[in-house]
Amino acid sequence: MKLLTSGAKLALRLRDSNRRHFWGWLNAVFNKVDYERIKAIGPDRAAAEWLLRCGAKVRFQGFERFHYDYNGLPTGPLGKYKIQAIDASESCIMYRGFDHLDGLKHVEEIKFNRCIYIEDACLERLSSIQNLQESLYMMEVVSCGNVTDKGIIALHKLKNLEYLFLSDLPGIKDKQMTADRLRTALPRLDLVLDLE
C-alpha cells in the first residue's frame, strides 16, 4: 500500500511540474516581442495588445476607465490612442516583453501588484527607458517576490517620479538604505513604505 501511495504522490508531483512548465512556456510566448507589429500599428497599440494578452489593464489618455478586454481595444487612426496608465496586477508580464515599452511617451502611472515574473531586471529595464524617465510620475510595487533592493534602487533614474508605494517585498533586505538612496536621488519623491 505504501508503494502505491508513494507512486501516486510522485505522479501528482510530475503532473504539477509539467503543468507549471506549460504555463511558464505559454507566458513566455505571450511576452514575445513582434517588432514588425510595433512598426505596423505603433508602440501604444502594440504595447496595449501585449499587456492585455498578459492579463494587465491599460488606460488611454481621455478615458476614465481601464481597458482589460483585448477585443475591446479602441480602434481608429494609428497613433490616436496613447497609453497613460498601466495596471499589471496579477499579470504574467515579464522581462522578455519589456521592449514593448520603448516607444511609449505618455505613461504616467504603473502598478505592479502580485506580479510573479517581475524581478530586478524588469525594474532596471523600465528605468532605462528614456521616455518613461520623462513621463512616469506614479508607481506601485506590491507583493512581487522577486524584487530586491537592487531593482528598487534602479528606479532612481525615473527623474519625474513623485509617488512610489512599496509593500510586501520580502526581497528588500535593507529598507532604510534603499529608501535613503531613492530620497537622495529624487528629492520630490513621496515614498510610502509598508515593508514589515
Residue 12: its pLDDT value, please?
Answer: 47
Q: What is the pLDDT of residue 3?
A: 46
Residue 14 reports pLDDT greater than 60: no
pLDDT for the residue 29: 74
Task: Indicate the pLDDT class of residue 186, thresholds 50, 70 and 90.
Answer: very high
Q: What is the DSSP string of 32-92?
A: ---HHHHHHH-HHHHHHHHHHHTT-EEEETT-SSPB--GGG----STT---EEEEE-TT--
Q: Are 25 and 18 in contact (CB under 8 A)?
A: no
| pTM listed for this prediction | 0.87
Give the C-alpha distances (Å, rounded to integers) separating 48 from 21, 71, 97, 102, 131: 26, 11, 12, 13, 16
